[in-house]
Amino acid sequence: MDDTPRLGSLGPVSAGLIELDLLGPVRARRGPVELDLGSPKQRLLLAALALADGRTLGRDQLIDVLWADDPPATARNVLRTYASRLRGVLGREALVSVGSGYRLVPVLTDLAEFERLRDAGRLSDALALWRGEALADLSGPYAEATRAGLEERRLAVLELRLAADLEAGVEVTGELSALVAAYPLRESVRALLMRALYRGGRQAEAIGVFTEARRVLDEELGVEPSAELADVYQQLITGTLPTAPLTAGTAGPVPAQLPGDIPDFTGRQEVVEAVEELLRTGVVAISGLGGVGKTALAVHVAHRVRERYSDGQLHVDLRGAGADPADPALVLERFLDALGADRIPPDPEQRAALLRTLTVDRRALFLLDNAASAAQVRPLLPSGPGSGVLVTSRARLSDLTGARHVDLDVPPEHEAVALFAAVARLPSGPTTAPVPSEQTPARDSSGRTATRVPTEQTAASDPARETVPSGEAVARVVQACGYLPLAVRVAGARLAARPRWSVEDLLTRLSAQRLGELRVGDVGVEASFALSYDQLGEELARGFRRLAVPDSAELTVELAAAVLGRDAREAERTCEELVDLSLLESAAAGRYRYHDLLRDFALARTPEAERRAALATVQASWLAAVTGAAERAMTDPGARELLLEEASCLAAMDRRHRGAPDPELTVGSTLVVARALALVGALDPPPADPFSPADPRIAYARGLLALGLWEAGAHQVVHGKAALEAALAALGR
């Protein structure tokens, strides 16, 4: 087995390598000499760079780390001063300037060593590295959020160690009781305590633990015990709970590599149960848009079912969304080492064969996160029927033979509201989250109607935030986030870090610049999307951008062909490639749509010249379609509905680009829509002929007037009002 300490960042090991401790007060050493890291802010800068694991952090990110949303006017100069001082302590080569940001060269961290020992199954050794709270001498929103995440990792390993001790017959009741007292809402610990008490013949006390859990959960969160805890209780009262330690299928190490469970995992109950059941068949591949919650779902399910897999749980981030996916041969080396292989062969195929040999009679769980392709996954699959594999990927791994596929969509509105409330630590209250009123109900990006639901409270509320927020404001925030879990989490984290902000304050910021605001520290929606976009070839990237230009709820193959300037077959092939990469959704055969935030991202990446070209192309196509439909509708009443659909699409484009730098595009569309509707009597009474005045402003205003009257009559009140106001503006009134 490899006992070499793991580096905190990637790169070669050099003489005099710095050792950095993060699992307690932050401190650093070079050999036996402890280094003076300076002020708390300076130590925070070093910790953030070390936690970036070799990645460059930009200037704005680091300013956000150090001062959150209240940086001093001299923040950039102070940041440079801190960096310069750290170079003086660590050595000039240790801290590299990259553009306006910084990158830390390799350092040995106790956090990396903790993870190495955890992955090797040496849980007690891993826990012994902790010297109190992580980053104990640092403060601020970034430090607090990071500390909470690291504490969750520690608790997850501690639970694994206690579970292993329990299975080995070690007395752990006292330690578990203390842990329950410290973390009364942590149900997994209560489940372990119930098992320990039952095995010690203390059934009444075990039942008491469940009764107390039910009371605390009801009083603090207003929820019932989880399915896992309820299942242990049911086994306890029916006498079916095992009274003796379980035995592993094969002697050898029992790796326990799962990341910590998601403490505020919310909703998804039907999906969770479906994945648990599918996992009994072997391989489950979860795919979906970046930020939709694939990893969170897989980790949560893995923790719920880990007792099925008594021979261990293995985990790897395959880095499939980035430019440097993990090499399966190196992953196999890690897995074989964790499973106790005496000798690891050099040939990748031999390594894959040895993995299959070692797992033929074992019950092991493999969590292969963030896969790039089926080819990357295949060598990592075990052979025994008792093992399970959870794979996550942004791409749909259709060529992964034998896998059961789960296409993960955004959650419904009420689950997004509950997630936001949990992350933001909102005070509970009897508020509801109403749908924004228009004549038609709001829909989420999957086309489902947004329902009125109570605002749930799933985490301790922030004592500094005394006002119960408006349910409508919370609903509008999650709608602005497109119900995307990553966006909802980031928005909630921003609000939690700003107890003096109201939900309305956050909503105002999101209304001004959604993608720019949906970032906290080095986590952001835009950065998540960029990982997928940056992997596209030039032609596919251009198609992804151009298809976002029309403001249409759905893209038909015909519209896609017009936007791309290709024939229908080629346009459909482009759309289907983007669907396979979770960059476009397919509501039905031949119909496609963007997630709202992904459309914003695509438009932000579209050069102005390309946008104008795409807009002109599709507008010309629609103008011809509306004109042709109007001519047919005059003699064929059955063509009227087609005309109205074409007119709606063209009117939508007019709304999006009205007032843009190229208003001539919207003038023509408005006039043609009004003319077409008048010709078939869709406007009653018909407007004056919009083409007759010599002054184009009057023609445009009449067209807008006709369009506004029609939209109002079609129950599109908000759009109709906007068109009428634009008509007045065109006339300078």
Show the DSSP H helices in 444-524 as ranges: 471-480, 485-496, 503-512, 514-517
Q: How far is CA 105 from the centre of its chain?
A: 28
Cβ-in-10-Å burial (0-12, 13-18, 19+) of 347 comes to exposed
State both tokens at 163: 């579970």
Cβ atoms of residues 187 and 229 within 8 Å: yes
Locus of tokens 């921003």: 494
Per-residue pLDDT, averaged over 155-184, amounts to 87
Give 513-560 pLDDT, tens digit per residue.
788 778 777 778 888 888 888 888 888 998 888 888 876 777 888 888
Cβ-in-10-Å burial (0-12, 13-18, 19+) of 563 comes to buried
Q: Domains for the chain: give ranges and CATH numbers.
A: 18-143 (1.10.10.10), 167-316+323-397 (3.40.50.300), 413-526 (no CATH), 535-606 (1.10.10.10), 626-733 (no CATH)
Q: Three-state DSSP class for 36?
A: coil
Q: How many CB atoms lie within 10 A of CB 3?
A: 8
Whether the per-residue pLDDT at 467 is higher than 60: the answer is no
Cβ atoms of residues 299 and 367 within 8 Å: yes
Residues 364, 371: Cα–Cα separation, whole Å: 19
Q: Three-state DSSP class for 290?
A: coil
pTM for the whole structure: 0.56
The percent helix, strand, coil of the chain (3-state, each to 5) is: 50, 10, 40
Half-sphere exposure of 109 (CA within 13 A, CB side): 27
Beta bridge partners of 21: 27
Beta bridge partners of 407: 287
Q: What is the DSSP string of 557-599?
A: HHHHHHHHTS-HHHHHHHHHHHHHTTSSEEEETTEEE--HHHH
**460 vs 216 pLDDT, higher one:** 216
Output the pLDDT for position 130. 94
Whole-number Cα distances in Å, 661 to 353, 602, 664, 687:
62, 19, 9, 28
Per-residue pLDDT, averaged over 152-172, amounts to 85
Q: What is the CA radius of gyration of the chain?
A: 29
Cβ atoms of residues 554 and 445 within 8 Å: no
Output the pLDDT for position 620. 67
Q: Which range in 253-267, 634-648, 659-673 is most confidently predicted, on average pLDDT?
A: 253-267
**Residue type for position 488:** V
Give 559-592 pLDDT, tens digit per residue.
888 788 888 888 889 998 899 888 888 878 888 8
Give 239-270 pLDDT, tens digit per residue.
888 765 544 334 567 888 898 888 778 888 88
State both tokens at 40: 């708390």
**Secondary element (H or E) of residue 161:** helix 141-167
Output the pLDDT for position 513. 79
Alpha-carbon dihedral sign for residues 202, 207, 209, 210: positive
Whether the per-residue pLDDT at 658 is higher than 60: the answer is no
Cβ atoms of residues 132 and 154 within 8 Å: no
Locus of tokens 């290709």: 566
The CA dihedral of 596, 593, 562, 670, to the nearest 10 degrees, is: -60
Residues 378, 653: Cα–Cα separation, whole Å: 45
Output the pLDDT for position 100. 80
Give 602-631 pLDDT, tens digit per residue.
888 888 788 777 777 776 666 666 556 555
Give 69-101 pLDDT, tens digit per residue.
788 999 899 999 999 999 888 888 888 888 888
Q: How many CB atoms lie within 10 A of CB 153?
A: 18
Residues 728, 367: Cα–Cα separation, whole Å: 60
State both tokens at 199: 């095995």
